[in-house]
Amino acid sequence: MRILLGVTGGIAAYKAVLLLRLLREQGHAVRVIPTRSALEFVGAPTFEALSGEPVSTEVFDDVPGVQHVALGKGADLVIVAPATADFMARAVAGLADDLLTTTLLAARCPVVLAPAMHTEMWDHAATRSNVATLRERGVHVIEPASGRLTGVDTGPGRLPEPEDIAREALSLVDPSSVGAVPQDLAGRRVVVSAGGTREPIDPVRFIGNRSSGRQGVALAQAAAARGADVTLVAANLAQDVTDQVDAARGAAGRLACSVVSVESTAELRSAVRAAGTEADVVVMAAAVADFRPAATPDAKIKKVPGHGPAPIELVENPDILAELAHERLRSDQVVVGFAAETGDASGSVLDHGRTKARRKGADLIAVNAVGSGRGFGTDSNEVTLLDGAGDVVGHASGTKREVADAVWDAVVKLLP
């Protein structure tokens, strides 16, 4: 397929690079047409190198080729991602002052816009009206995802994940292309735990951890896209990850799964085991507390000035993953764990991962290095996959969704 990828000037322009790579990997010819302001965010050489095609923003760059007409007429699909509020306003007005807007006027193929902006801008009456006008004209405007925006703020306006944009856009031209995502988990039931447990100290306090749930949710989304029937056991996901799950469940086809929300290790264990009895695969991506307070008083523990803190006695939690691996709730069930490690004097990240793989008895352990900004709360991850004997069977790095797909690739090989 010949695809034109318009990129406009928003911070999410960096995700257009991933979308470009994905479309190229799927065998499509892609020409990138950025706006001038898009190039403030991502340089033309990046787009040129990944597309293998020249990049220009202006109609005057290749006048003999009459590019502003030829590009639009020769395309099978136009995707603009991210599409800013300004770009959509210009498209509504029919402006033609750069290569992207002129191309849009010349194109007669399906046009897909993936807006990305702050929630206030997305909700503004001008943007709402522009989106409605574009939709009336037959332009396919993808609903933005809900989640983390540029800064610490969250809400609707986030650019959907490149995989989701590609799937939605390609399915408009060729519905069978949705099969481009291998349906190798079709008919399989999978359980994924995500997030981090909270162990109550008293009615207001808890012992918790920094897990956002991003990797677990990516695993659930990837499994659903590959045809699995997914149960996501969600432990205290970060707000933007919860928003992402809600938005994905609302949009048909993005995340078909049931969600069970839990707080403590005990609740997570019950939920995973309940869903796990029927599951072909259980993936424990949640960060589970190893210890919990021995007792949880009904009333808030009082501070007594002048006295030291009351000691909190801890008892060990069951190791849910090890239990699942040793008991096997169902024969042939594949059990997968994660091991977030920091290296130390007694061994490297991988050494600790190997020891853990042998101890837990899971079929697959994804070991990742954490600390110094790595692993927790970020959009990317890097893991080494070990089998139950601690031998390396794979390696994956990239977005958490790419890592999720690599984990499922390894799981599929283990399924009977």
Q: Point out the residues that are catalytic.
A: 209
H helix runs in 281-416, sequence order: 320-327, 349-360, 400-414
Q: Which is nearer to ligand C5P, 8 or 317 (CB)?
A: 317
Written as six digits, the tokens of 26 are 């799927």
State which of residues 116, 222, 339, 367 lies at the interface with ligand C5P (CB under 6 A): 339
Options 47-55, 68-76, 232-240, 283-291: segment touching ligand C5P (CB under 6 A): 283-291
Q: For residue 305, with 0-12 CB atoms within 10 Å meaning exposed, 13-18 middle and 19 or more buried, which class applies?
A: exposed
Only one residue has tokens 């000691």, namely 311
Site for ligand C5P in 353-392 (CB under 6 A): 356
Number of residues that bind ligand C5P (CB under 6 A): 13
Q: Which is nearer to ligand C5P, 11 or 207 (CB)?
A: 207
For 50, how many CA atoms within 13 A lie in the half-sphere containing its CB?
18
When asked if residue 351 is in the footprint of ligand C5P (CB under 6 A), the reply is no
Give, for 314, the enclosing helix (H) or strand (E). Answer: strand 314-316
Residue 18 labeled ligand binder: no
Residue 318 labeled ligand binder: yes
Residue 413 labeled ligand binder: no
State which of residues 41, 87, 338, 408 lies at the interface with ligand C5P (CB under 6 A): 338
State which of residues 163, 164, 280, 319 lies at the interface with ligand C5P (CB under 6 A): 319
Options 94-102, 256-264, 334-342, 385-393: segment touching ligand C5P (CB under 6 A): 334-342
Residue 306 CB neighbours (<10 A):
5
When asked if residue 229 is in the footprint of ligand C5P (CB under 6 A), the reply is no
Residue 290 labeled ligand binder: yes
CA distance 44 to 201: 54
Minimal distance in Å, beta carbon 323 to ligand C5P? 8
For 324, how many CA atoms within 13 A lie in the half-sphere containing its CB?
32
Q: Which is nearer to ligand C5P, 14 or 291 (CB)?
A: 291
Residues 6+ apart with CB under 8 A from 203: 298, 299, 300
Residues 6+ apart with CB under 8 A from 365: 336, 337, 338, 339, 353, 356, 357, 385, 386, 388
Q: At how many degrees (to 10) do helices 214-225 and 239-250 cross?
A: 10
Q: Which is nearer to ligand C5P, 169 or 235 (CB)?
A: 235
Best CA proximity match to 335, nearest among 355, 365, 356, 359: 365
Q: How far is CA 262 from the centre of its chain?
A: 21
When asked if residue 190 is in the footprint of ligand C5P (CB under 6 A), the reply is no
CB 79 within 8 A of CB 169: yes
When asked if residue 163 is in the footprint of ligand C5P (CB under 6 A), the reply is no
Best CA proximity match to 28, nearest among 184, 173, 141: 173
State which of residues 337, 353, 361, 375 lies at the interface with ligand C5P (CB under 6 A): 337
CA distance 348 to 415: 30
When asked if residue 199 is in the footprint of ligand C5P (CB under 6 A), the reply is no
Residue 321 CB neighbours (<10 A):
26
Q: Which is nearer to ligand C5P, 245 or 285 (CB)?
A: 285
State which of residues 78, 286, 325, 335 lies at the interface with ligand C5P (CB under 6 A): 286
CA distance 210 to 383: 18
Residue 73 labeled ligand binder: no
Minimal distance in Å, beta carbon 283 to ligand C5P? 8
CA distance 390 to 348: 14
Residue 305 labeled ligand binder: no
When asked if residue 317 is in the footprint of ligand C5P (CB under 6 A), the reply is yes
When asked if residue 288 is in the footprint of ligand C5P (CB under 6 A), the reply is yes
Bind-site residues for CTP: 290, 300, 318-321, 338, 356, 360
**Residue list for the binding site:** 290, 300, 318-321, 338, 356, 360
Residues interacting with ligand C5P, by CB under 6 A? 265, 284, 286, 288, 290, 317, 319-321, 337-339, 356
